[in-house]
Amino acid sequence: MSPQSSAPAAAAPAPVVAIVGATGAVGVELIRCLEQRRFPLSELRLFASARSAGKTLLFRGAALTVRELTEDSFRGVNVALFSAGASTSKRFAPLAVRAGATVVDNSSAFRMQADVPLVVPEINPQALRGHKGIIANPNCGAIIAITPLWPIHKVNRIERLILSTYQAASGAGAAAMEELRESTRAYLEGREYAHKVLPHPYAFNLFSHNTRVDPATGYNDEETKVREETRKIFGDPQIRVSATCIRVPVLRAHSVAITLECERPISPDEVRALLRNAPGVKLVDDPQRNHFPMPRDASGQDAILVGRIRQDISDPGGRSIALFVSGDQLLKGAALNAVQIAEVL
């Protein structure tokens, strides 16, 4: 053995990490996830718009000052976690890469680019290999719907998915969460409330997801994202997906009712066995007590709750299963998944 090969390898220095959009609903959860998971970093830098410059946020007991994001913000940054909307990502993520950082982007800006990995670490961590500086964090509804489906897909390919989402306010950001709180208070007190963030009255109501409807297909952008991203993450461009995405008056956990059709017959017991010890998933499936996944229970949890597992009786071939999931949109749907990607990196 040569003297060089027997010498211990020098440990890589802990990275400098930046959060872009640190003051947002996902941004504050990114800070919390880095802290709770003891992410090894030498420095954390927080960025947001000029409106937030000078604010302080706590990290590991220290008050960190939020800075305005500028073109020079990425000097010396090794990992940049972006959650400030697609237009900010489009403009600043390439600058971060040019400055030498690896970007994990929570927006939709780069997700469907062929040279950008779209990653759920429980499903396709291998996609990170050979990345070109930007890694995309998938759509929150897609992550929550498909993480529990992967163990099934691996052993009995899912050919078709029909799903309906019940999406929380957090998916539209901190201002939408505030609109839900404020409009609910106003409703209960009999006051008028002029909605500003979402396109319809939110208290005691629900409505079709607030994205553009494609006149050619009738599907809105959120529904199209779920379809296309499922295909990319599963590496299965043939899987047939039809989604209906609905915004519901829940603060921070998305739920999804899913009917899946496999290649071969499959039973509810097989599905339970596949999901019992699956990573990132927790079975909540107790028909006796009528206890199934609820957004209230999923809020603040890393695991996606899955239950109501039953044979879809409309399929006489026995190849279809119906189930229901709830997952914290801000955690596994966004911040946690991004930090898990950074950990794999």
Check binding of 251 to ligand A2P (CB under 6 A).
no
Q: Which residue is nearest to ligand A2P (CB)?
A: 24
Residue 337 contacts residue 302 (beta carbons within 8 Å): no
Check binding of 307 to ligand A2P (CB under 6 A).
no
Q: Which stretch binds ligand A2P (CB under 6 A): 20-28, 160-168, 241-249, 263-271?
A: 20-28
Catalytic residue among 131, 153, 209, 254: 254
Site string for ligand A2P, 134-173 (x = CB under 6 A): ---------------------------------------x
24/148 with CB nearer ligand A2P? 24
Check binding of 174 to ligand A2P (CB under 6 A).
yes
Cα separation, 313 vs 333, in Å, equals 30
Work out which of 44, 48, 152, 266 binds ligand A2P, going by CB under 6 A: 48
173/295 with CB nearer ligand A2P? 173
**In the numeric block, which tokens belong to residue 132?**
């070109």
Residue 104 contacts residue 137 (beta carbons within 8 Å): yes
262 is catalytic: no
User: Could you tell me where the DSSP H helices lie in 2-147?
Assistant: 3-6, 25-36, 86-98, 140-146
CA dihedral 242, 260, 142, 287 (to 10 degrees): 120
Catalytic residue among 33, 140, 245, 262: 140
* Nearest CA-CA partner of 325 in 296, 299, 305: 305
Cβ 105 to ligand A2P shortest distance, Å: 12
Q: Which stretch binds ligand A2P (CB under 6 A): 44-52, 114-122, 184-192, 259-267?
A: 44-52
Cβ 101 to ligand A2P shortest distance, Å: 16
At residue 284's C-alpha, the angle toward residues 281 and 285, to 5°, is 125
* Nearest CA-CA partner of 26 in 330, 303, 252, 337: 330
Check binding of 64 to ligand A2P (CB under 6 A).
no
At residue 274's C-alpha, the angle toward residues 268 and 275, to 5°, is 90
Instruction: Give 154-217 as a DSSP string.
Output: HHS-EEEEEEEEEE-GGGG-HHHHHHHHHHHHHHHTT------SSSS--TT--EE-SSPBPTTT
Say how many residues touch ligand A2P, by CB under 6 A. Answer: 18
Amino acid present at 114: A
Check binding of 333 to ligand A2P (CB under 6 A).
no
Check binding of 88 to ligand A2P (CB under 6 A).
yes
Q: Which residues of this protein are in contact with ligand A2P, per CB under 6 A?
A: 21-27, 48-49, 51-52, 69, 84-85, 88, 173-175
**Catalytic annotation, residues:** 140, 254
